[in-house]
């Protein structure tokens, strides 16, 4: 028996927010002081570092649970399964349902229960729960699904990564330009086919790193509302990722029994183009190799950083032929990898 992904689906929001749309924002430093550069210069520098030209936001009437449901429905259809056959629905997110122009996040009932309700699944034996694990949440959900199936307590799981970061960004913070919305879903189940999930690796660094990404107040000193926004120490995260992610990838690959030369694609969390390139370059340098051309498909330039949704949406886009110059074929060895709040790192070696 192997454990494989048998269906994929994604939801890409329809609202396109271009870099030029930030020209009228009032960006401030974390201490509330003015930034001595015009917004055009700030945005140009941002694009050079992150690779982001535009990002996607959901419509005002939608919620995170809605787009998670849309992606889930597509994955179920792609896998050609009966939704009543699902044993688990695992939804990775970070901020629950945040309504447009409202401060409070809604997490009761869980996003997974809401998705199950929207899917109209009747069986009470289909268990739904949420997973809070930062940006690596969807990969960790797949790892958990594998554990359920390998232990014999489940045969088929729906794993979703869905987030609406546009609802928790501080418009006075330059980092707000990074974040976006989106949802990706997969069906994970036991199979008689070869391949599937070959190995995984997970680590949490929380001694000094736990608060590198956090919830904080607006950068604007005259705004007194109690609302909190997603905040981060970008330089610390960059240094952390470059130090720790390549070794995690190497450890995962060694567990799989595969060679570095076997890898066809590395689908890494789309957080920052320069950072992702540096991570993969360092990974290959551990084997005294140069990073192969085309090894790392990217969607961040048009979709931004949608947290838990970036890896599953990227995977779905490649399989559906929606990403130019990239494909994954039967038997290909690929890696999923992510780093994010916690600070958490994880990876999977997968044979398609």
| Helices assigned H by DSSP within 120-230 | 137-151
- Go through 20-51 and write b for each residue having 16 or more CB atoms within 10 A of its CB, e for each that does not: eebeebebbeeeeeeeeeebeebbeebbeebb
Q: Note whether 2-194 and 198-351 share their fold.
A: yes
CA distance 97 to 63: 6
Options 3.40.50.300, 1.10.3720.10, 1.10.630.10, 3.40.47.10; which CATH number does 198-351 get?
A: 3.40.47.10
Quick check: 1 pLDDT over 90?
no
Q: Give 234-256 pLDDT, tens digit per residue.
A: 899 999 999 999 999 999 999 99
Give the model confidence (pLDDT) of 41-73 as tens digits: 998 989 998 999 999 999 999 999 999 999 999
Find tokens 């109690």 and name the residue. 226
What is the model's pLDDT at position 217?
A: 87
pLDDT at 223 over 90: no
State yes or no: pLDDT of 221 exceeds 90.
no
> Cα–Cα distance between 263 and 193 in angstroms, integer?
19
Domain at 2-194: CATH code: 3.40.47.10
- Three state DSSP letters for 296-334: CCCCHHHHCECHHHHHHHHHHHHHCCCCCCCCCCCCCEE
- The pLDDT, as a whole number, for residue 25 is 87
Q: What is the model's pLDDT at position 7?
A: 97
Sign for the CA dihedral angle at 40, 46, 48, 53 comes to negative
Decide: 46 and 52 in contact? Cβ < 8 Å. Answer: yes
Q: Where are the domains of the chain?
A: 2-194, 198-351
The pLDDT mean for the chain works out to 94
Question: What pLDDT score does 27 carry?
Answer: 85
Q: Which of 148-162, 197-211, 226-240, 323-337 is predicted least confidently? A: 226-240
**Ramachandran angles phi, psi of 185, nearest 5°:** -145, 150
d(CA 194, CA 301): 34
As a whole number of Å, the end-to-end CA separation of the chain is 15
Residue 205: per-residue pLDDT: 97
pLDDT above 90 for 84 = yes
Enter the pTM of the model.
Answer: 0.94
Number of C-beta neighbours around residue 320 at 10 A: 13
Task: Tell me the per-residue pLDDT of 279-328, one tens digit each, with 9 for 90 and over.
Answer: 999 999 999 999 999 999 999 999 999 999 999 999 999 999 999 889 99
| Residue 322: φ, ψ to 5° | -100, 5
Mean pLDDT, residues 197-225:
91
* Per-residue model confidence (pLDDT) at position 219: 84
- What pLDDT score was predicted for residue 129? 98
104, pLDDT greater than 90: no
Percent of the chain with pLDDT over 70: 100
């Amino acid at each position: 028996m192997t454990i494989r992904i048998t269906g994929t689906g994604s939801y890409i929001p329809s609202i396109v927010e271009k870099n030029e749309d930030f020209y009228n924002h009032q960006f401030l430093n974390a201490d509330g002081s003015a930034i001595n550069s015009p917004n055009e210069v700030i945005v140009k520098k941002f694009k050079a570092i992150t690779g982001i030209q535009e990002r996607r936001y959901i419509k005002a009437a939608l919620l995170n649970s809605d787009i998670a449901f849309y992606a889930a429905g597509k994955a179920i259809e792609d896998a050609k399964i009966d939704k009543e056959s699902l044993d688990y629905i695992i939804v990775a997110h970070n901020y629950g349902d945040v309504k447009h122009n409202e401060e409070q996040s809604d997490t009761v009932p869980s996003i997974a229960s809401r998705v199950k309700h929207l899917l109209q699944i009747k069986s009470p034996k289909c268990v739904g729960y949420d997973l809070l694990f930062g940006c690596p949440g969807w990969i960790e959900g797949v790892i958990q699904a594998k554990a359920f199936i390998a232990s014999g307590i489940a045969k088929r799981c729906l794993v979703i990564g869905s987030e609406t970061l546009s609802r928790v960004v501080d418009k006075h913070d330059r980092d707000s330009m990074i974040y976006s919305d989106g949802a990706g879903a997969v069906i994970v189940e036991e199979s008689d086919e070869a391949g599937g999930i070959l190995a995984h690796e997970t680590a949490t660094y929380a001694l000094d790193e736990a608060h590198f990404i956090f919830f904080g107040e607006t950068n604007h000193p005259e705004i007194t509302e109690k609302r909190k926004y997603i905040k981060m120490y970008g330089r610390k995260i960059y240094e952390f990722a470059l130090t720790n992610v390549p070794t995690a990838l190497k450890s995962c690959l060694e567990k799989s029994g595969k060679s570095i030369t076997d890898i066809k694609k590395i689908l890494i969390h789309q957080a920052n183009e320069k950072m992702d390139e540096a991570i993969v370059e360092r990974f290959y340098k551990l084997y005294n190799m140069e990073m192969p051309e085309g090894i790392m498909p990217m969607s961040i330039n048009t979709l931004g950083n949608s947290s838990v949704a970036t890896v599953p949406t990227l995977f779905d886009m490649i399989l559906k032929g929606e990403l130019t110059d990239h494909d994954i074929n039967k038997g290909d060895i690929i890696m999923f990898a992510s780093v994010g709040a916690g600070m958490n790192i994880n990876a999977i070696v997968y044979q398609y």
